[in-house]
Structure formats: structure tokens, C-alpha cells
């Protein structure tokens, strides 16, 4: 099988980008003929050895344009299966899907939401389907709103005939609400760490340090708890300077991030944004680190084990959870170990990769049948 992977970019940041690279490496192990085309490559990215990388700059565009897509044609014609991720250019999507060979992973709200990822300005979830929403609450400027709404409609129309993959049941529900009810849920897979000897000695807050990620809520909860364990902050963003008293490590690569989380008493995940999946939480659980989570969006698929659930914005409850785990390392250890076992049962490659194989083979057989 010849599999062509397409993306807007290759990046070292973000859980979805990490999973995309993992899929490419896995595909190589399957002895398929793997090729890769992206719009841009961020500094520091390691392309999997043996994979030919082709730059198709038009794949990085977020608007409908055929500019710089000329080299895409021969690539998509020669592939048996085309797997596209995070491509927002409707013209590129139309060309890819028209081949009848397309598998499209939808891990970005911009396919069905013109605003802030199905999150209203007050931090609550928007439950109005796109076709019935005027979006003026989030997009005040009328001209800009019309432009983005039109672009979103073009993206939705472009992917309609593709085989769709989403990372969570939440994303499947959102696509079903706009008439695309055929998405297959295949979460990201992670490697499970060894059994920990003891509970960690810090709390960790990681990711983009911006308002909708609930960063200030997590920091305030830690501050109010007054616990002796430090708060380590991994990431960059506009709120970095506001996290007084925390140990800010800045952006760190994935290996360092996992190492820090594996030594933590718990990961703080206070996001009120509708997370497409929340891969950082699964990675923490895979290392035996419990998660204090404000479950939003796709996080609902994994917060049932190894986590203390707190309603988004409930800082006192979040603070109580921090105090509880700070005072009871044995409880933290037991909670984290339950999460580690759960990840091994539900979110490991052994369980999830066969689902992706089935999607590819079904798409390929349909094309051959035509």
C-alpha cells in the first residue's frame, strides 16, 4: 500500500502534531510505501528516517486558494490512500477528497466553528449547531464574521465525501451536529511508562499559557491551597508573567515534558476551552501521574479513571483537590497507577493501530472497487 500523509505543517509543539509524527513512524513499520507532503516545517522537527519530505506550500494556507498547490496533483494521483491532517485550505481539501482515496483527521474546530473552538466568551460551551448560529457573540465585526463563516462552510463542504477520523467522541458529536455523522473515533496512542516507585514532589501546569486554557485558575488554586509542593510551569504564552511564585521552565521539548510530568504529584489541567482530546492528560496518566481536570470537550473520554474531576472555573474545588493530593501521597500514587493501567488498556498502540489499518483498507478497497 502506498500511503501519502499530508499536513499544513510539521511541528514539535502540540499533541496532535506529535501524534501525526507517531502515525508516520508506525506506517513505516507496517512496510507500506510512505511519503509526506507539508506546507511548512518548523525549526527543530525531525522527519522520520526514510520518509521523503515534499514541500507543498499551499497546504499551509488557511483560506481557499490554489496557489502553490501545483505539485500536489502527481502526489495524490500516485497514492493508494491519502491521510490528511489539519489542512484548512478548502481548495486543497477539495482536490484531495475528489480522488476518492482521502482519509481526513479533523482535530481542529475551524472545520465546523468560525469562533473560539465552540467556547463562548464567558468560557462556557457553545451548544448551537453551526448552521443555526449567527456567531455574533464571538465575532463582533460583521465583515470579518461573514468572511470566516463562509470559509468554514467551504471547509465543511470540501470534506463531506472523505473518510473522517476524530480523536474523541466530543469531536464526533460536533461533526454529527453539522451533518457529518460518519466520523470514526480513533484517539491518539501513547506509550505506557513503568510502575512508579512513589508519588512525585511537585505539581505541573503545562501547555499554552493563555486564558482559555484556564492557566490562571490552576495557578490560583495552587496558590490558595498553600501546599509546600512547588508548581512547575511548562510552556509559553501571554500569562507567563502572571504566575507569581511558580517555577516557570518555559517551553520544553516533548521528552523533557514527559520527564517532568512523570516526577509530579499531579498534572493540573484546568482548561475551559473545548479540548479536541487533551493528549497531555493521557500522557500524564501513562506515566502514573494523576490529573486534576476540568473536563471539557474530548477530555470526557479519559477523565473517568486516574483523575479528580472539577468543574471548569471552580477554583475552590480545584484547590481542595490539590491540597488532598499534597497531603496524601499514597492516594495520589493509587490514583495515578489506576490511570496508568487504564491507558494501557484503552489508549496504547496495540489497541488503536488496528482501527487505523481498518480505515485505510476500507478506503483503499472502495477506491479499487470503483
* Three-class DSSP labels, the chain: CEEEEEEEEECCCCHHHHHHHHHHHHHHHCCCEEEEEEEEECCCCCCCCCCEEEECHHHHCCCCCCCCCCCHHHHHHHCCEEEEECCCCHHHHHHHHCCCCEEEECCCHHHCCCCCCCECCCCCECCCCHHHCCCCCCCCCHHHHHHHHHHHHHHHHHHCCCEEEECCHHHHHHHHHCCCCCCEECCCCCCCCCCCCCCCCCEEEECCCCHHHCHHHHHHHHHHHCCCCCEEEECCCCCHHHCCCCEEEECCCHHHHHHHHHCCCEEEECCCCCCCCCHHHHHHHHCCCCEEECCCHHHHHCCCCCEEECCCCCHHHHHHHHHHHHHCHHHHHHHHHHHHHHHHHHCCHHHHHHHHHHHHHHHHHHHHHC
Q: Is residue 195 part of a domain?
A: no
> Same domain for 217 and 334?
yes
Domain span holding position 267: 203-346
Judgement on whether residues 175 and 298 belong to the same structural domain of the protein: no
Mean pLDDT of 41-60: 89
Considering the domain architecture, whether residues 286 and 355 belong to the same structural domain is answered as: no
Q: What pLDDT, on the 0 to 100 scale, is given for residue 130?
A: 87
Query: Tell me, what's the pLDDT at 351?
Result: 96
The count of domains in the chain is 2
Pair 154, 302 in one domain: no
Give me the mean pLDDT over the 17-44 stretch.
92
The predicted model gives 1-28 an average pLDDT of 92
pLDDT on residue 249 = 95
Strand order in the sheet with 52-55: 52-55, 33-41, 2-10, 81-85, 102-105, 163-166, 184-185
Phi first, then psi, for residue 114 (nearest 5°) are -75, -15
Per-residue confidence band for 22, with pLDDT thresholds at 50, 70 and 90: very high
% of the chain surpassing 90 pLDDT: 86
Give me the sign of the Cα torsion angle 124, 129, 130, 131: negative
Residue 197 banded pLDDT, cuts 50, 70, 90: confident
Domain identity same for 100 and 219: no
What's the pLDDT score for residue 46? 84
Q: CA 50 to CA 328: how far, in whole Å?
A: 48
Same domain? 256 vs 329: yes
**Band (343; pLDDT cuts 50, 70, 90):** very high
- Report, as an integer, the average pLDDT of 234-244: 94
User: pLDDT digits over 286-298, tens only?
Assistant: 999 999 998 899 9
Let me know whether 133 and 39 are in one domain: yes
pLDDT at 277: 96
pLDDT at 367 over 80: no
Instruction: Say if residue 342 is in the same domain as residue 355.
Output: no
In a domain, 198, yes or no: no
How do residues 105-128 score in pLDDT, each as one tens digit? 999 999 999 999 999 999 889 988
Same domain, 105 and 166: yes
Confidence of residue 85 (pLDDT cuts 50, 70, 90): very high
The percentage of residues in the chain with a pLDDT greater than 70, rounded to a whole number, is 99
CATH code: domain of residue 46: 3.40.50.2000
Do 365 and 221 belong together in one domain?
no
151 and 263 in a single domain? The answer is no
N-to-C CA span, the chain: 17
Q: Which residues contact 122 (CB under 8 A, 6 or more apart)?
A: none
Compute the distance between CA of residue 90 and CA of residue 111 in angstroms, rounded to an integer: 10
Give the sign of the dihedral formed by CA 352, CA 192, CA 200, CA 235.
Answer: negative
- 242 lies in a domain? yes
pLDDT of residue 47: 83
Distance CA 139, CA 322 (A): 36
pLDDT reported for residue 366: 75
Q: Is the pLDDT of residue 369 over 70?
A: no
Beta bridge partners of 10: 41
Banded pLDDT at 64 (limits 50, 70, 90): confident
Q: Over the Cα atoms of the chain, what is R_g?
A: 21
Strand partners, 102: 82
- For residues 48-73, give the mean pLDDT: 90
Q: Give one word for 245, left, alpha or beta, with left for phi > 0 and alpha for psi -120 to 50.
A: left
Q: What phi and psi values does residue 311 have, to the nearest 5 degrees?
A: -65, 140
Residue 370 has a pLDDT of 60
User: Is 92 within the bounds of a domain?
Assistant: yes
- Mean pLDDT of all residues in 179-184: 94
| Same domain assignment for residues 128 and 142 | yes
| Residue 24 included in any domain | yes
Per the domain annotation, does 194 fall within a domain? no
Q: Is the residue at 89 inside a domain?
A: yes
Supply the pLDDT for residue 2.
95
- What integer best gives the mean pLDDT of the chain? 94
Mean pLDDT of 168-193: 95
Q: For residue 138, tell me if it sits in a domain.
A: yes
Amino acid at each position: 500500500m502506498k500511503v501519502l500523509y499530508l499536513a499544513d505543517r510539521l511541528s514539535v509543539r502540540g499533541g496532535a502534531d506529535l501524534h501525526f509524527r507517531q502515525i508516520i513512524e508506525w506506517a513505516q513499520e507496517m512496510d507500506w510505501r510512505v511519503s509526506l507532503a507539508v506546507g511548512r516545517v518548523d525549526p527543530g522537527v525531525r522527519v522520520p528516517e526514510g520518509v521523503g519530505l515534499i514541500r507543498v506550500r499551499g497546504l499551509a494556507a488557511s483560506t481557499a486558494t490554489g496557489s502553490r498547490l501545483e505539485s500536489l496533483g502527481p502526489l495524490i494521483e500516485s497514492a493508494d490512500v491519502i491521510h490528511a491532517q489539519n489542512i484548512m485550505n478548502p481548495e486543497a481539501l477539495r482536490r484531495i477528497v475528489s480522488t476518492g482515496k482521502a482519509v481526513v483527521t479533523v482535530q481542529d474546530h475551524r472545520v465546523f466553528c468560525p469562533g473560539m473552538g465552540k467556547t463562548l466568551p464567558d468560557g462556557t460551551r457553545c451548544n448551537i449547531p453551526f448552521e443555526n448560529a449567527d456567531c455574533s457573540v464571538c465575532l463582533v465585526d460583521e465583515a470579518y464574521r461573514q468572511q470566516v463563516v463562509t470559509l468554514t462552510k467551504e471547509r465543511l463542504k470540501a470534506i463531506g465525501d472523505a473518510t473522517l477520523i476524530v480523536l474523541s467522541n466530543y469531536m464526533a458529536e460536533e461533526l454529527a451536529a453539522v451533518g457529518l455523522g460518519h466520523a470514526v473515533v480513533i484517539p491518539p496512542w501513547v506509550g505506557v511508562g513503568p510502575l512508579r516507585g512513589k508519588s512525585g514532589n511537585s505539581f505541573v501546569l503545562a501547555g499554552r499559557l493563555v486564558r482559555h486554557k484556564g492557566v490562571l485558575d490552576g495557578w490560583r488554586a495552587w496558590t490558595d491551597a498553600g501546599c509546600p509542593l512547588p508548581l512547575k510551569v511548562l510552556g509559553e504564552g501571554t500569562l507567563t508573567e502572571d504566575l507569581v511564585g511558580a517555577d516557570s521552565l518555559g517551553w520544553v521539548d516533548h521528552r523533557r515534558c514527559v520527564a517532568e510530568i512523570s516526577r509530579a504529584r499531579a498534572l493540573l489541567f484546568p482548561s475551559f476551552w473545548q479540548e479536541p482530546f487533551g493528549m497531555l492528560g493521557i500522557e500524564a496518566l501513562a506515566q502514573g501521574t494523576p490529573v486534576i481536570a476540568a473536563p471539557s470537550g474530548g477530555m470526557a473520554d479519559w477523565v473517568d479513571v486516574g483523575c479528580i474531576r472539577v468543574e471548569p472555573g471552580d477554583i475552590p474545588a480545584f484547590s481542595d483537590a490539590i491540597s488532598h493530593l499534597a497531603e496524601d501521597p499514597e492516594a495520589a500514587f493509587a490514583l495515578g497507577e489506576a490511570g496508568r493501567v487504564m491507558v494501557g488498556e484503552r489508549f496504547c498502540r496495540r489497541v488503536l493501530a488496528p482501527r487505523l489499518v481498518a480505515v485505510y483498507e476500507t478506503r483503499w478497497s472502495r477506491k479499487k472497487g470503483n
